[in-house]
Amino acid sequence: VFLVLMKELGATFSCGMRVLVSSAVPQGSGVSSSAAVEVATMQAVVAAVQLQVQPDKIAILCQMVENLVVGAPCGVMDQFASCCGNAGQLMALLCQPAELLEPVGIPRELALWGIDSGIRHAV
């Protein structure tokens, strides 16, 4: 996060910063946990150093973290979902180029469920 903020936004960090992340989500569980951690960390650091960064830009910066720093060749969907998603709506995203479209409302009488398939992947 720090490297990408320095490279892309010219951010400077004149004093140290400690970041603690605690999670009970199993590694490689396929629930976008790495994107959620990246977004939460990016939002916290951006707020701490008083930068003004729009949510869609935060998502793109987080994808850069995953691609350039972590070395994982991921797309941008998970970061956008973590950063720009809203309760009660389906997020519509054009991934190439990364562009948010109008969200789709979920009718109250419709329930959506996420089911853990148990299939794990390497991160």
Catalytic residues: 78
**Residues in a beta bridge with 93:** 100
Residue whose structure tokens are 């949510």: 55
Closest listed residue to residue 9, CA positions, set 41, 37, 67, 50 = 50
Q: What is the tally of helices (H) and strands (E) in the chain?
A: 4, 4
Closest listed residue to residue 98, CA positions, set 57, 69, 51 = 57
